[in-house]
Structure 1
Amino acid sequence: MSRRRIGFWYRLAAAIAKPPLVVLFKRDWRGMEHIPADGGFITAVNHNSYLDPLSYAHFQYNTGRVPRFLAKAALFKAPFVGMVLRGTGQIPVYRESTNALDAFRAAVRAIEQGECVAFYPEGTLTRDPDVWPMPGKTGAARVALMTRAPVVPVAQWGANLAMPPYARENKLQLFPRKTLKVLAGPPVDLSAFYDREPNAEVLKEATEVIMTAITELLEELREEKAPAEPYDHRRARSEQRRKAAEEGTS
């Protein structure tokens, strides 16, 4: 298996992004030894800020194994950003369309060619009020079970302090200078699922194993315990609507 060369476009993106990251933030990076030196693999990363893709990409770029992100297709339409995304081999995600499976196929193909594909299993910024990971979607587990590639869990913290998720005004809060913390853990053991039919239940169980590994790493970074149950945004929203309805009829 070959490994993706960093190439011109990734070096250009790094030349643009790295200087301000180095100047404006401190870094606490751990676990680089868990990033495979060769062969295809998956990283599964928590998502708590619009800024954290840069923080995480900086960390992994410095390992010599550049990630291919799954990114919203709309981003590829922006003139310069789209050019950089295509040049660096990022994978467009077309939600709720006939092209929705293309990202899945592209991820499998990239891993089979010896590359790294980075997943945000939550599928969006966390909506947990305390910024812990939410339950994950099954895409990363599905690709992992199909390819049997290593799944490296990664937790990050700090970008959310500079740019909080879902803040009314996404203005950078740069001072005092924040520390961008990234911690990669050993690959998650999914071997118990390899010989099982990848149905909805199996994919859900495998996803929970991945999310548990990410959450445990984040506990280490934050030096505190996560809630026993991950925050379920749909359930919380449903509960809010139910309470509002009860108050309206009382």
Structure 2
Amino acid sequence: MAKSREKTAAFHATAAVTLPVFGAMARVRVRNPEALPQEGPFILAPNHYSEIDPIVMGVAVWKSGRAPHFMAKASLWKIPVVKQILNGLKQIPVERSRTKTSGSAPMDAAAQIIEDQAGVIVYPEGTLTRDPEMWPMRGKNGAVRLAVDAGIPLIPAAHWGTHRLMPRYGRGIRPFPRKRIDVVFGAPIDLSGVTSSHSNKQVTAATAELMNSISALVGELRGLEPPKERWDPARAGQSETGRFSE
């Protein structure tokens, strides 16, 4: 089975160290783990509001039976412990400002992981949310395009509680008292009839649907109704809310 091949010795060794240490700082509770395919490739798209999010989502994916692979911003590689983990497990750094030369490298690496029948975790916002209330902001189209090109499931996900362990834009971890972090996986986004053309409005519409689904999952974990509009960083300085209607 694909899941047995992808859980390599490196993953098991990392899990043997990471899970007890992280578990001493936080209890990760996973809701609806059966929504994650138990074999075959997939794209998992979660919300993002703390630098420690990748470790949290990695723990959740591992506990759900799969090995986590990330497309995450390259600045995460500047955190010493995180850098060692990400490099050892062949994760995928994405530079915030990409050149023509480097821009295709993350997508090529992700495509190879997908070809190997593994799953890739993509943060569709591209960075930590700037929404003042930490709701997901407007997403980028990369997750949808990658899923459409590969013809694989695109699964929204959400978590809540990581900001108590490492605050947004914070660098220090607050391990005491032990935190509770909730993670939930949602139903796959319907991508039937969507093509990945750069000018295709369907991709943008599917990305909006993805972000709405992620926001709904975040609202489920927070016990709150998510805003009907996504925060748009490009417009934040031009309006009082900076929110973008989908």
Q: TM-score, normalised by structure 2?
A: 0.86
Deviation of the 1:74 alpha carbon: 5.9
State how 1:43-54 maps to structure 2 within 5 Å. Answer: 43-54=44-55
Deviation of the 1:45 alpha carbon: 0.7
- Secondary structure, counterpart of 1:71 in structure 2: strand
Deviation of the 1:78 alpha carbon: 8.1
Deviation of the 1:155 alpha carbon: 0.3
Give the Cα–Cα distance (whole angstroms) in 1 for the partners of residues 86 and 26 of structure 2: 24
CA deviations on 1:88-138 (whole Å, 9 max, x unpaired) are: 121232442212111112212321321101000000011111000001111
Structure 2 partner of 1:177: 178
- Secondary structure, counterpart of 1:214 in structure 2: helix
Give the Cα–Cα distance (whole angstroms) in 2 for the partners of residues 66 and 166 of structure 1: 27
Q: Does the 8 A contact of 2:74 with 2:94 survive in 1?
A: yes
Deviation of the 1:57 alpha carbon: 0.6
State how 1:67-216 maps to structure 2 within 5 Å. Answer: 67-73=68-74, 84-94=85-95, 95-97=97-99, 98-167=101-170, 170-194=171-195, 197=197, 199-216=199-216
Give the Cα–Cα distance (whole angstroms) in 2 for the partners of residues 62 and 11 of structure 1: 12
Does residue 20 (structure 1) correspond to residue 21 (structure 2)? The answer is yes
Deviation of the 1:46 alpha carbon: 0.5
Give the CA RMSD over aligned residues.
Answer: 2.4
Q: Give the share of equivalent positions with the same residue, in percent.
A: 38
Structure 1 partner of 2:244: none
Aligned residue pair count: 237
Structure 2: gaps (5+ residues): 241-246
- Secondary structure, counterpart of 2:43 in structure 1: strand
CA deviations on 1:51-108 (whole Å, 9 max, x unpaired) are: 2211111111112211210134466688876554343121232442212111112212
2:86 counterpart letter in structure 1: L
Deviation of the 1:21 alpha carbon: 2.0
Structure 2 partner of 1:248: none
Does residue 234 (structure 1) correspond to residue 234 (structure 2)? The answer is yes
Give the Cα–Cα distance (whole angstroms) in 1 for the partners of residues 65 and 36 of structure 2: 9
Give the Cα–Cα distance (whole angstroms) in 2 for the partners of residues 34 and 105 of structure 1: 26
Q: Which has the higher helix share?
A: 1
Q: Does the 8 A contact of 1:9 with 1:84 survive in 2?
A: no
**104-113 or 148-157, larger mean C-alpha shift:** 104-113
Deviation of the 1:42 alpha carbon: 0.6
Structure 2 partner of 1:218: 218
Structure 1: gaps (5+ residues): 241-250
1:69 counterpart letter in structure 2: F
Q: Does the 8 A contact of 2:74 with 2:93 survive in 1?
A: yes
